[in-house]
Amino acid sequence: MFMKIVSLLPSATEIVCALGLGENLVGITHECDFPASITDKPPLTASRISHETMTSKEIDHAVRSQLDGHGSIYDLNEKLLRELNPDLIITQELCDVCAVSYKTVEKAARMYTADAQVVSLEPNTIADIFDNIKLIGELTNTTEKAEEVVANLQNRLDKISQRISEANPKSEISNPKSFMLEWLEPPFSPGHWVPEQVAIAGGICLLGEAGKKSVTTTYQEIYESKPETIVMIPCGYYTSDILRQLGNTFFPANWREIPAIRRGEVWALDATSYFSRPAPRVVDGAEILAKIFHPQIFGAPSDAEAVRVPRDLIKFEDGIAVKRT
């Protein structure tokens, strides 16, 4: 029997395709863009907020206003959902900012697709992501393929740790103190699987704890943590989005003295692909971080993987440029 799958999560779409089930996808979200083979699938969602035209501060305000009023920042096309009549709907309860709320999906499924199985994915760690891959494998009768995918991903992570461990006795490698900036304004500290990515890549994650939510922090707390590397990964942003948003972002004057900024160790990465989505490519994210933290072991990242933020894009409230060290 051909199973019709609706994915209401970009991460779930990536997992389904990693299991070889791209043809089974009959509906996706407006944000699903990987792999390219699925971009012609009909989207069931739309966003009420424009990342392209609003600043990070404006987006944060709009999101908080909608959610504080118990609303949603997404619309679900219930008519299309009924027409597609899926067998399996994959959604989430983890974050109302990431996707259509679980309650909305569950209600729509009861009303329009009574026979559909609704599955909610709730990953908080890399292990949880791997478990989600196995779960979708079980639900779609691709258990063997799921085990193979997870084993390959785990092997890649193990190789990162192994290479760092083997190099340590030979070259006195230090683990850089790193701050992963999950939103520009207001600043957010890292959570969920991101601190794990940092640790696996041989860094020390500042102001974040694995398995916990990312939370609002302050520019002063970041300054006091004295990061040696700053990696900008605002949730849902591509590298080009980050560089564009920096034109409207002004950091406190004392940030000029942060070691990472003085040394030019500020990086912009494709957060959407490698950090925001709990999918197989979080392993790619760890591999890219390893290149940033330890280029002497892994080689420097390519321009397609990471961009060292130009000094003239880092602006301060007093208008004075950063000094080189």
Write the DSSP string, 190-223. --TTHHHHHHHTT-EE-S--TTSPP-B--HHHHH
Strand partners, 178: 205, 229
Which of 275, 272, 267, 255 lies closest to 302 in space, CA to CA? Answer: 267
Strand partners, 27: 6
Q: Are 322 and 262 in contact (CB under 8 A)?
A: yes
The rounded distance, in Å, linking the Cα atoms of 244 and 246 is: 5
CA distances from 156 to 14, 149, 201, 268 (A): 18, 11, 11, 23
48 pLDDT tier (thresholds 50, 70, 90): confident
Which are the contacts of 202, defined by CB distance < 8 A and separation ≥ 6? 160, 164, 173, 175, 176, 290, 293, 294
pLDDT of residue 101: 62
CA distances from 197 to 86, 109, 208, 304 (A): 34, 35, 12, 19
Cα 8 from chain centroid (whole Å): 16
- The top-scoring range by mean pLDDT among 51-60, 115-124, 163-172, 201-210 is 201-210
pTM of the model: 0.91
Which of 82, 95, 18, 96 lies closest to 44 in space, CA to CA? Answer: 82
Condensed to tens digits (0 to 9), the pLDDT of residues 306-320 reads 999 999 999 999 877
- The amino acid occupying position 187 is P
pLDDT of residue 319: 73
Q: Which domains does the chain have, with CATH numbers?
A: 5-142 (3.40.50.1980), 174-316 (3.40.50.1980)
Write the DSSP string, 109-148. HHHH-TTPEEEEE---SHHHHHHHHHHHHHHTT-HHHHHH
Cis preceding-peptide flag for 35 (omega within 30 of 0) = yes
Residue burial 19-39, b: 16+ Cβ < 10 Å; e: rest:
bebeebbbbbbebbbbeeebe
Condensed to tens digits (0 to 9), the pLDDT of residues 239-284 reads 999 999 998 899 999 999 999 999 999 999 999 999 999 999 999 9
Q: Dig out the tokens for 324 from the structure.
A: 């080189």
Section 121-145 average pLDDT? 96
What 8-state DSSP symbol labels residue 318? T
Pick the range with the lowest mean pLDDT from 41-50, 162-171, 234-243, 269-278. 162-171
Quick check: helix, strand or coil at residue 34? coil
Condensed to tens digits (0 to 9), the pLDDT of residues 67-79 reads 544 456 788 898 9
pLDDT of residue 236: 87
> Looking at per-residue confidence, does 248 or 286 come out higher?
286
6 pLDDT tier (thresholds 50, 70, 90): very high
Residue 98: pLDDT above 70?
no
CA distances from 164 to 150, 158, 200, 228, 302 (A): 22, 10, 9, 18, 20
